[in-house]
Structure 1
Amino acid sequence: MRKHDRVSSTTAPIPVVGLVHVAAGKLLLVRAVRQQAFYLPGGKIDPGETELQALHREVREELGTGVAGPAFYGRYTTDAVGQGSGVRVALACYRGAPDAEPRAAAEIAELAWMDRAEYLAQPVTAPAIVDLLADLDP
């Protein structure tokens, strides 16, 4: 299990979940409408919802597909992008694969496949994804 903590804060981090799907050495990422940064498919965990329930719900909403074989990968606690100073996220990552061809749905404007160099070349990057991509590099 991987665990990262980039910054300390007195505010509890927002619990979120993300799908880690790698193909041909690149990570599947999404960009939401009105956002500049790319993130993992996924999102906030609703009250009373488990991480896996949230993962399945969010991936269905964002990619129009289910998740095959999700397995816990790691947890990344870091600053949130676009949420204001001091706001953090606790990202629970699950490796798995979409069970059909993913497509941008709901609030998702764009899908992308990126390696670490491609992601770092983006104008805005999310610290949790930077850390995740470093861990995924061989």
Structure 2
Amino acid sequence: MKIIDKVAWLHLHEGKLLSTRSRGKDRYYIPGGKREPGETDAQTLIREIREELTVELDPASLTYIDTFEAQAHGHATGILVRMICYAARHTGTVQPAAEIEEVAWLTYRDRPRVSPVDQLIFDQLHAAGQLAE
């Protein structure tokens, strides 16, 4: 079994979750990305969010939320993605950069438009009353 190791930023505002869509993709993904060799969760997340969304995360505010695993969208059966999720404050204005074509604020109604691992996250946030219907 292969596991894709990712770190993600859960950024909620008024019951909506920040999500991104990369060029050529049909699904939305919670922002973040894959770890470079030797990087910590914090280093990975800060680098990826800076590259994708042009904002700086405050390292002192990083708060672990949970870890989720599911079938990796667009990969062969049995390839899983493990998403380690954090919340954090940021400075700057969120805007798409690098491979990101679109930034969107999604609610639970948008669940069918996100990847399988993101659907698990949507379920948990909705059940906790953090993600609006």
- Shared topology, TM-score over 0.5? yes
Which residue in the other structure is 1:136 paired with? 125
Count of residues paired in the alignment: 125
TM-score normalised over the length of structure 1: 0.85
Q: Distance in 1 between matches of 2:90 and 2:75?
A: 28
For the residue of structure 2 that corresponds to 1:13, the secondary structure is strand
Which residue in the other structure is 1:62 paired with? 52
Q: Distance in 2 between matches of 1:81 and 1:134?
A: 17
Q: For 1:29-44, what aligned pairs fall within 5 Å after superposition?
A: 29-44=19-34
Question: For structure 1, which runs of at least 5 residues remain unmatched after alignment?
Answer: 1-10
Shift of 1:34: 1.5
Equivalent pair of 1:116/1:130 in contact (CA under 8 Å): no
Which residue in the other structure is 1:46 paired with? 36
1:114 equivalenced with 2:106 (yes/no) = yes
Q: Distance in 2 between matches of 1:90 and 1:24?
A: 27
Shift of 1:85: 2.4
Shift of 1:82: 1.4
Q: For 1:56-95, what aligned pairs fall within 5 Å after superposition?
A: 56-68=46-58, 69-95=61-87
Question: For structure 2, which runs of at least 5 residues remain unmatched after alignment?
Answer: none
Which residue identity lines up with residue 110 of structure 2 in the other structure? E
Shift of 1:97: 3.3
Shift of 1:118: 2.1
Percent identity for Structure 1 against Structure 2? 32
Which residue in the other structure is 2:90 paired with? 98
Q: Distance in 2 between matches of 1:78 and 1:119?
A: 15
Shift of 1:108: 0.2
Which residue in the other structure is 1:21 paired with? 11
For the residue of structure 1 that corresponds to 2:89, the secondary structure is strand
